[in-house]
């Protein structure tokens, strides 16, 4: 006999399957790449939230992470390196009903795209953002990014870089965000829960996904992560910035969970709600309009 719980699982499985690519004739990521479990967790989270393909737009940056655009059956846009956030914000502003997901690497986000990140957080665009934090420029064969540890030997920089890396959460927490969470590609259940929380958030949900890249990041593997990640303790209050900084800035262990949450912040669309009556949404531009009177003049 079908129970409501069983039916919910059957429905979720159907949504998950709809996102699953039927064409195997594509180039995949390297064996053991953290991008596989990240994409799987994303599909699981969407399925559990009942978000079907027609309701979701995926915006991909350039990089190994961005090649996820070819590996999912969905509405996708593949933008320029570092520019995915303005693209995603534009999609949301054009069609408020769409659930918009943006994905980018650490190279794109903390070098080419750092100004876009700052303004996405500042404006609190209603977008779920997944940072694929593999601490290197992977697609271009493993150069140091702004998140690679100081003096870490990498391609093109055998002795590493003498400069301090950014700490992604230190940067984002300094920008007065509304939602910051951290998860890891070694823990698919935790990624799924975290992405579900991000999908429910009404503003800009920043999720740092600590991602293994076994081909170019030999210094932090899935095995290393399993020994150095820890769930946030019960005592942590995500609405307390001091506690968010304490746990968010730790690199050993890396704390997983909801680092910071400001449920009271107005998102971008709420700040411009007064304009709704006056200005057309971009979606109106593709609606059918009667232009026969205009044509009759010629």
Ligand X SMILES: Cc1ncc(C[n+]2csc(CCOP(=O)(O)OP(=O)(O)O)c2C)c(N)n1
Residues near ligand SF4, by CB under 6 A: 29-30, 33, 35, 64, 134, 138, 213-216
Does residue 134 interact with Mg ion by CB under 5 A? Answer: yes
Which residues ranging from 104 to 133 are in contact with Mg ion (CB under 5 A)? 105-107
Q: Helices (H), strands (E): how many in the chain?
A: 11, 8
Helix/strand/coil for 137: strand
- Tell me how far apart the alpha carbons of residues 248 and 225 are, in angstroms, rounded to a whole number: 16
Residue 215 binds: one of ligand X, ligand SF4, Mg ion, none (C-beta under 5 to 8 A by kind): ligand SF4
In the structure encoding, which two tokens stand for residue 296, read together? 């009759």
Q: Please list, in sequence order, all residues whose beta carbon lies within 8 angstroms of the beta carbon of residue 293, skipping any fewer than 6 positions away.
A: none
Compute the distance between CA of residue 228 and CA of residue 144 in angstroms, rounded to an integer: 22
Which pair of structure tokens corresponds to residue 4? 């409501």
Stretch that binds ligand X, among 18-26, 38-46, 59-67, 257-265 (CB under 6 A): 59-67
Among 58, 117, 120, 145, binds ligand X (CB under 6 A): 145
63 binds ligand X, rule: CB under 6 A:
yes
- Of positions 57, 64, 184, 197, contacts ligand X by CB under 6 A: 64
Name the residue with tokens 């709704």.
276
Instruction: Read off the tokens for 55.
Output: 């309701």
- Specify the 3-state DSSP secondary structure of 126: coil
Contact partners, residue 11, CB within 8 Å, separation at least 6 = 50
- From the list 95-103, 134-142, 243-251, 273-281, the region that binds Mg ion by CB under 5 A is 134-142
Q: How far is 236 from 163, CA to CA, in rounded Å?
A: 32
Q: Which does 140 bind (CB under 5 to 8 A by kind): ligand SF4, Mg ion, ligand X, none?
A: ligand X
Q: Distance between CA 75 and CA 19 in Å, rounded?
A: 10
Nearest 5°: phi and psi at 202? -90, -10
Residue 108 or 180: the one with the smaller Cβ distance to ligand X is 108
Binding-site partner at residue 11 among Mg ion, ligand SF4, ligand X, none, CB < 5 to 8 Å by type:
none
* Per-residue DSSP letter, 259: E
Looking at the Cβ atoms of 139 and 175, the one nearer to ligand X is: 139
139 forms part of the interface with ligand X (CB under 6 A): yes
For 30, residues 6+ apart whose C-beta sits below 8 A from its C-beta are: 213, 214, 215
Question: Quick check: 217 binds Mg ion (CB under 5 A)?
Answer: no
| Minimum CB–partner distance for residue 64 and Mg ion (Å) | 7
Is the Cβ of residue 148 or residue 178 nearer to ligand X in the bound state?
148
Of positions 106, 124, 187, 193, contacts ligand X by CB under 6 A: 106
Nearer to ligand X, 155 or 251 (CB): 155
Among residue numbers 72 through 91, which ones bind ligand X (CB under 6 A)? Answer: 81-82
- The radius of gyration of the chain's CA atoms, rounded to the nearest angstrom, is 20
The entry of ligand SF4, ligand X, Mg ion, none near residue 216 (CB within 5 to 8 angstroms by kind) is ligand SF4
List of residues contacting Mg ion (CB under 5 A): 105-107, 134, 138
List of residues contacting ligand X (CB under 6 A): 62-65, 81-82, 105-108, 112, 132, 134, 136-140, 145
């Amino acid at each position: 006999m079908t129970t409501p719980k069983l039916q919910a699982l059957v429905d979720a499985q159907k949504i998950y399957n709809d996102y699953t690519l039927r064409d195997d004739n594509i180039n995949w990521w390297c064996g053991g790449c953290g991008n596989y479990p990240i994409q799987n967790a994303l599909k699981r989270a969407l399925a559990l939230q009942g978000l079907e393909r027609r309701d979701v737009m995926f915006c991909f940056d350039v990089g190994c992470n961005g090649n996820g655009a070819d590996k999912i059956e969905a509405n996708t846009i593949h933008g320029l390196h570092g520019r995915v956030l303005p693209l995603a914000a534009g999609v949301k502003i054009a069609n408020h009903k769409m659930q918009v997901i943006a994905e980018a690497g650490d190279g794109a986000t903390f070098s080419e795209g750092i100004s876009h990140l700052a303004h996405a957080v500042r404006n609190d665009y209603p977008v779920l953002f997944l940072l694929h934090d593999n601490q290197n420029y992977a697609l271009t064969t493993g150069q140091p990014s702004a998140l690679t540890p100081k003096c870490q030997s990498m391609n093109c920089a055998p002795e590493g870089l003498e400069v301090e890396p950014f700490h992604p959460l230190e940067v984002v927490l300094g920008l007065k965000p509304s939602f910051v969470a951290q998860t890891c590609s070694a823990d698919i259940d935790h990624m799924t829960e975290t992405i579900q929380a991000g999908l429910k958030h009404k503003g800009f949900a920043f999720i740092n996904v600590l991602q293994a890249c076994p081909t170019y990041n030999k210094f932090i593997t899935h095995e290393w992560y399993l020994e150095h990640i820890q769930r946030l303790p019960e005592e942590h209050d995500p609405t307390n910035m001091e506690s968010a900084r304490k746990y968010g800035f730790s690199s050993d262990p890396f704390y997983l969970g909801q680092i910071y949450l400001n449920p009271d912040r107005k998102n971008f669309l709420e700040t411009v709600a007064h304009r709704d009556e006056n200005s057309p949404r971009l979606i109106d531009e593709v609606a059918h309009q009667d232009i026969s009177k205009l044509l009759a003049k010629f």
